[in-house]
Structure 1
Amino acid sequence: MVDEIARTLLQGFDRHYRLFRELSQGARQRFLDSDWAGAREAVRTRIDMYDARVRETVAALEAQLAASESPPALDVLLRKVKVAYIGLLYEHKQPECAETFYNSVATRLLHRTYHQNDCIFSRPAISTEHIDGERPSYRCYYPKSVDLEGTLRRMLVDADLETADCRFQDLERDTGYLMRVIAEHFPHGWELDENFQLQVLSSLFYRGRAAYMVGRAIRGSAVVPFVVPLRRTPRGELYVDTILLDTKAVGRLFSLARDYFMVDMEVPSAYVGFLESVVPSRSRSELYTLVGLQKQGKTLLFRDFVWHLSHSSDRFVAAPGTRGMVMIVFSLPSFPYVFKVIRDWFQPPKDADRAIVEERYRLVKHHDRAGRMADSLEFVNVEFPRARFAPELLEDFAKLAPNCIEVGETRVLVRHLYIERRLIPLDMYLADADEARMRSALGEYGDAIKDLAAANIFPGDLMLKNFGVTRFGRVLFYDYDEIAYLTDCRFRTMPKARHDDDEMAGEPWYSVEPNDVFPEQFPQFLLPPGDPRRIFLELHGNLAAAAYWLETQEKVRAGKPDERPPYPESLRFANRFG
């Protein structure tokens, strides 16, 4: 029985990863067909695939156990199954992901009290060092043997996007642009060290309406990351949009506030290892998540958290910022994440419930986050040491979420929570900002609202406290309980008062439906008077006019929203070189 169960588990994972790769491999054809609706649907489908395979495998194992005349205790059985499973993973191409899949199945079969024992992979058992697939994970080019421009041209051809119906619009022009930007970025030229080479990941990274070639240049001991975005003209021709050589621009592209990439990886650990040198600001947890393996990202994040907890001594406290009416938000100051728990009851005027809030978080997970909505990882049945909590936070748990949080003598069990990267609440950021930083942050705030609108998202509650500033100065939205589709809202101009009594009335004298929005009220209700309101109106005054929102709705309905790339417009070749 032990070997049979181990094989069933691995078969379940192998089926999942085969379907995962098939969906990722299809990204190339969707790009070549300009099938943007299909690309959007593929992203949604992939998010749900993992849990579907876990449910199938759990059902298969429960059937096997039910058919056994005298099955042993589950914890005893799974200890033996784990050992057998490790044996099956020798020479496997995705052992770390297969271990995570095992954990997902095992924790659904076991009681939560076994989640930290030797029945599961609390740390990896199989090394992922130097695993490679049938073809190498990246290609190497040596510009010393040919000119650099010729090497760049060959790299673009090797991307394997050209077909009889889809050719580069002007390959010579694009390689010329690449050379000009490289010369500007490295005015003293490239020193051709003995080991000088360009390395490019074998699979392109697909997201939205672009395909990205991800690589690095090796010059002696220096590593220079680069990304080349490829797009299609309205007539279907290929062109190079830019080259990203700046660390900040590359980091902005690899943002978890956007869809995860579609990328075909036989050996995901090899791709993540490569990306660590391209985006060193991202953790391995984040990199696995960015390539669509968010369950592996969750596993690594939780392991990092457990490790950090055992090597720190500070206490969990309420997260900085305005107290929420829907969530309890707490953090460990020494750990760069926040923990969000849905309260058992909400303060007026909030009229949602737990099911609605969870559904809105799922909406965000499946929707285009447009680079403006913080990514959340969902966890269940997480235990914390009680001694690490501030007493006032434990009081909040008992008062606001007794059904979701169980406080014991030594442990605190949180039955459901979300974990997100910690941001600086925008209202707190502005309170300490000089005019230059205030102008930058309010510009980002308005851009965030506009980017979300173009993605058919209206945040609902636009108050500054619901937005946060990243370590790179970018503004993201992170409070989802009132989120709605832009096309479901009715944007209206404030009716003019009929007489003085209307002006003095305590309640609106005109009818207001639940989905009505009056943009003229935004500056007054969202921003304090003085510099913040003045600067916001200078930068984004059109947000206070219903006409802007109605026009954006029409573009969204027509399938032609204003699309902004995940890098500055000023870097695009069309803007730099005409």
Structure 2
Amino acid sequence: MKHFPKLLSSQIGFDVAQTMLEGFNGHYSNFRAAAVHAKTLFEAADWLALQTLARDRIASYDDRVDECVRLLEDEYDAENIDDEVWQQIKLHYIGLLTNHLQPECAETFFNSVCCKILHRSYFNNDFIFVRPVISTEYLENEEPAAKPTYRAYYPGKDGLPATLERIVTNFQLEPPFEDLTRDVACIIDTIHDTFGAFSEAFNFQVHVLSSLFFRNKAAYIIGRIINGEVMVPFAVPIRHVKPGLLALDTVLLKREQLLIIFSFSHSYFLVDMDVPSAYVDFLGTVMPGKPKAEIYTSVGLQKQGKNNFYRDLLKHLSHSSDHFIVAPGIKGLVMVVFTLPSFPYVFKIIKDVFPPPKDTTRQKIQDKYLLVKRHDRLGRMADTLEYSSVALPLSRLDEMLVRELEKEAPSMIEYEGDCLVIKHVYIERRMVPLNMFLQNGNEADIEHAIKEYGDAVKELMQANIFPGDMLYKNFGVTRHGRVVFYDYDEIEYLTDCNVRHVPQARTEEDEMSAEPWYSVAPNDIFPETYSTFLLGDPTVRQYFMRHHADFFDPKLWQKHKDLLLKGELPDFFPYDGGVRFCNRFPARFAAPRDADTVQDAASARADGSGPDAARAA
């Protein structure tokens, strides 16, 4: 370590802190610019460009961190700065964050840079932000021209229909709406169908986040309705219904529906946030109980989500006493998987050696996980948090787990004092393995899970993903009953696969042979053969053939591949199709209604009159 005179070291400390903050500010400027550009791409219906934008934004954080590290090494020989100066750097950095609008994210950026430069022995609160320092509570942009985090609307003056129309038009989307009055009437009817007729309380108001949430082929309006002591969350997806025309697709009014669209199995939203902590606090009110770490991740600040998650883990360890154990279920050939029963996550470590028939490498597996991180997951692939140098107390590790790690992944662990340090680990939300769910479920559970499994694989096809190993053990069932894929070491792009029919057997011996009688190239797939390992159970077979009889037909797989090769992206809906307005109110979409009639009907709903109000009474 270099030692500097006191005055010089103080100046170096400030300069390094300033350089690091400039690095973060550059990153966040790019982050916001991507969200702003997403609006332009959505308006133009340029879906392929929107996908590319989302993928590139994920990679940009690490690029900015590496850029900052190189600058500090070139300008200040950062690796050789002494301990006292590093502590001063942190203190100066804290001072620079006093009036910052993204201080929690800036602290995380500081940690990311330091962890690239310093040895893990420095990963404590003296040198990095193990605990946050700058409070984000009540943080808001107070600039006169700044956009507020959310806008409050009061329907008592103009009526609910006019208020809802104003909410939508305030986002100033360029394409016109096909029939906004019709769509608003559908929202009001859905509210009344869900909650019945209601009286407007003195404080009746609607709060709407000021920025749209862009993902896939939709833009979401997110908000909450306050009426007396009742708070109702809502999300309204906006979609293109015809070239150059928009429509409100539905309104989601249940917490469970919002939890699904913000779940760990979906790609990150593109959303412009001046004060991200204020957005996260708002989203916490409409999804109570959802960890802040997951909310930060869902809005695209995945590094902040990682930071918050690790803090949550440390806090949980200090307030629990159970042991990390080998995860229940069939052991995989590629990963050692373990869990802490009191904590709803699994930890996955790549093994040192992969037994046959696995033919892969550690780098290839890491590349597959990176592919999934940057891909549109369509709610069917679990997101992963990737960490290096994670220290877990030995006293909390089950002996059988320690032996498993020493046997299967010795290069990935080292002992340091009373801790076991894991050099590289993936962490995912814990789910019930689908094979165990099918074994333990009743007939209704089995039917639901099999339908979900087929839907999941078909949606992965639409996302250009071939799962590779499609055994039930590689899929999980979430707490919302959705089936999600989580084993990525054999995934490929569907467009890179050769979809083939099984050739006719030449002889009876061919049919009886354990080995295929036909040639198989590395990327060949044979959907007809999947029935062998998916339909062994008669109950499973019954429901599989009821819901997904086409699953084993190569034509289905080839059709999706051909669409992808043409550059066509299918529509995807992270909610039940039955709640879409075009399905819920088909008559309104089959024959356009007079605008005045729609407006009158909506007004009648809003003031509690009309036939539905009478039925509710």
| TM-score scaled by length of structure 1 | 0.97
Conservation of the 8 A alpha-carbon contact between 2:125 and 2:131: no
Matched, 1:158 2:189: no
| Alignment match, 1:484 | 492
- CA deviations 1:383-424 (Å, max 9, x no partner) are 111111111111111111111111345111111111100010
- Give the Cα separation in 2 of the matches to 1:160 and 1:506: 63
| Alignment match, 1:291 | 299
User: Given the superposition, is the C-alpha separation of residues 472 and 281 from structure 1 closer, same or farther in structure 2, using an over 3 Å criterion?
Assistant: farther
Q: Please, which of 493, 498, 502 is the counterpart of residue 494 of structure 1?
A: 502
- CA deviations 1:352-393 (Å, max 9, x no partner) are 010000000011011111110000011011111111111111
Report the alpha carbon displacement of residue 32 of structure 1 after superposing the two structures with TM.
0.7
Report the alpha carbon displacement of residue 282 of structure 1 after superposing the two structures with TM.
2.0
- CA deviations 1:64-90 (Å, max 9, x no partner) are 32399xx651x3221111111111101
Q: Please, which of 166, 180, 203 is the counterpart of residue 171 of structure 1?
A: 180
Matched, 1:143 2:151: no
| Alignment match, 1:224 | 232
Conservation of the 8 A alpha-carbon contact between 1:193 and 1:219: yes
- CA deviations 1:220-259 (Å, max 9, x no partner) are 2221101111111232111111111122222111122111
SS in 2 for 1:160: coil
| Alignment match, 1:538 | 546
Matched, 1:180 2:192: no
Q: Read off the aligned partner of 1:211 and give its amino acid letter.
A: A
| Alignment match, 2:331 | 323
User: Given the superposition, is the C-alpha separation of residues 167 and 402 from structure 1 closer, same or farther in structure 2, using an over 3 Å criterion?
Assistant: same
Report the alpha carbon displacement of residue 57 of structure 1 after superposing the two structures with TM.
1.2
- Give the Cα separation in 1 of the matches to 2:153 and 2:81: 57
| Alignment match, 1:513 | 521
Residue pairs, 1:42-441, within 5 angstroms: 42-66=53-77, 72-73=81-82, 75-133=83-141, 134-161=146-173, 163=174, 166-189=175-198, 191-441=199-449
Q: Read off the aligned partner of 1:568 and give its amino acid letter.
A: D
Find runs of 4+ consecutive structure 1 residues off by over 3 angstroms.
Answer: none
Matched, 1:552 2:560: yes
- Give the Cα separation in 2 of the matches to 1:19 and 1:562: 29
| Alignment match, 2:45 | 34
Aligned length in residues: 571
Conservation of the 8 A alpha-carbon contact between 2:380 and 2:485: yes
User: Given the superposition, is the C-alpha separation of residues 512 and 202 from structure 1 closer, same or farther in structure 2, using an over 3 Å criterion?
Assistant: same
Moved more, 446-455 or 541-550: 541-550
Q: Read off the aligned partner of 1:497 and give its amino acid letter.
A: A
Q: Read off the aligned partner of 1:47 and give its amino acid letter.
A: I
- CA deviations 1:87-133 (Å, max 9, x no partner) are 11011000000000111111111101111241011111010011112
Q: Read off the aligned partner of 1:3 and give its amino acid letter.
A: F
Q: Read off the aligned partner of 1:413 and give its amino acid letter.
A: V
- Give the Cα separation in 1 of the matches to 2:570 and 2:43: 21
Conservation of the 8 A alpha-carbon contact between 1:254 and 1:279: no
Conservation of the 8 A alpha-carbon contact between 1:96 and 1:128: yes
Across the aligned residues of Structure 1 and Structure 2, the Cα RMSD in angstroms comes to 1.4
Matched, 1:567 2:578: no
SS in 2 for 1:336: strand
- Give the Cα separation in 1 of the matches to 2:176 and 2:78: 58
SS in 2 for 1:381: strand
For CA contacts below 8 A with separation 6 or more, give which structure has more relative contact order: 2
Q: Read off the aligned partner of 1:61 and give its amino acid letter.
A: L
Unaligned 5+ residue runs, structure 2?
A: 1-11, 587-617
| Alignment match, 2:611 | none
Conservation of the 8 A alpha-carbon contact between 1:454 and 1:563: no
Conservation of the 8 A alpha-carbon contact between 2:337 and 2:348: yes
| Alignment match, 1:446 | 454
Moved more, 515-524 or 441-450: 515-524
| Alignment match, 1:7 | 18
Percent pairwise identity: 48
Conservation of the 8 A alpha-carbon contact between 1:227 and 1:245: yes
Conservation of the 8 A alpha-carbon contact between 1:232 and 1:238: yes
- CA deviations 1:110-169 (Å, max 9, x no partner) are 1011112410111110100111122211011001112111111111111211x3xx2111
